[in-house]
Chains A and B, each alone.
Chain A
C-alpha cells in the first residue's frame, strides 16, 4: 500500500502544475495511493505515525530535505520503505541518492530499487545528510588521532550522504574539512587538495572556546561536546538511477 505525504509548503500555487503532473504519472504507473497533504492543522510527524499504524508499506514523502529530516525519527528501524519525490528548494538528499526532481522521480519510484541506509548519530540525535560545526572545534577520530585545521577559518562537516565521498550504506561517516571559501559540495573538485576527507566510524567533538552547537540536517541542533557514531542500515529507502553507489 502506497501512502503519499505532501509537505505544507507545496500548497503554494507555483507547485500546483507540477503536482498534477506527478499525480497523473503515479496513476499511470499504477503506484498511486492514499494522499495526505500537510496543513497548519495537520502535523507532519503525527501524520507519518498514523500512516505507519494503518499499515502503510511504502511511504512517499513529497518535498525537500527538511521534509525528510522532520520525520526521520519515525522511520528508523521501521519496516516501511521510504520513497521521495523531490520538489522545491534544498535538495541535497535527492542529489546524493540519485533521485531526479519532480516528475522524473516517479519513474525511479516505480522501479523500486531499495537500499538500507546508514544514519549518523550525534549523541542520541540522528541525522541522515550531514552535521555542521562552529569553528574551531577539536575532533578525535576512532580514539586514535585528532584532526585540526591549520587555517583559522573554514568549514568542518560530518556527512553521511555525499555525492562524491563514501557511500550511505558502508557503515562509515566522512569528516570533511574545507578551507575558508570552500563553498561546500559545489566547489569541492576545484580545491581537491585543500579539502580533507576522513572516513570514520566513531569520533568525539568538543568546542575549543566554551560551548557551541552543531546543526544536523539544517534542522536540529545538538549541544557540544558529544560522541559521533554510525547507526548502520537503519532506514529502507528507494534510491534513484543516477546514484553514484
Chain B
C-alpha cells in the first residue's frame, strides 16, 4: 500500500508518530503527521494525515484521519476525509464516514457506513 512509503528510508520522517506494540496511549491524541499504531490507544485519535493500524493494535477511541488502513481492532467511530481500507484481519466496531472504502475478504465491520460526497437514496434525504 502506498501509505507511509518513503523514497529515502534513512531520512527523518517529519512529525511521524509511532505507537509501538509495547506502549499504551490514554487521552486525546492529536498528531501533526502520519500515525502508525501497533499498540493500544484509549480516548480519541486525530491526525490531519494518514493512519495505519497494525494487526496487533487495539484502539478504543473515535478516530479522525485523512486516510486510514486497518489490520487491527478499532472500537469507535471513524471519520476519514479520503480512503479507508480494511485488511483481512481488521475488526471495526463503530460507524464509518469516508469518501472511499475498500474491505478485504475476512474483515469485520459492524456499524453504519456513510460515503460523504456521494448521492444519497431518496429515503435517506427524507430522513426516513
- Contact residues of A with B, CB < 8 Å? 140, 142, 144-151, 154, 162-167, 170, 172, 177, 179, 192-199, 244-245
Contacts and interface: CB of A to CB of B under 8 A. Distances in A.
B27 interface: yes
Nearest to A140: B27
B21 to A, nearest CB: 5
B15 A199 contact: yes
The 4 closest A-B pairs by CB, nearest first: A145-B27, A196-B20, A151-B22, A196-B23
Interface string B16-31: 1111111111111110
Given A145-B29, A146-B27, A196-B39, 18 more contacts: A144-B28, A145-B26, A145-B28, A148-B24, A149-B23, A151-B22, A164-B10, A165-B12, A166-B12, A170-B15, A177-B20, A177-B23, A193-B21, A196-B23, A197-B16, A199-B15, A244-B11, A245-B11
Contact of B12 (A149, A177, A245): A245
B104 interface: no
A197 B17 contact: yes
Nearest to B57: A193
A149 B22 contact: yes
Nearest to B41: A145
A227 B16 CA distance: 23
Contacts of B54: 193
A148 B26 contact: yes
Contacts of A177: 20, 22-23
Nearest to A143: B27
A150 B40 contact: yes
A196 B12 contact: no
A150 B27 contact: no
A145 B25 CA distance: 7
B14 A167 contact: yes
B41 to A, nearest CB: 9
A213 to B, nearest CB: 23
B13 interface: yes
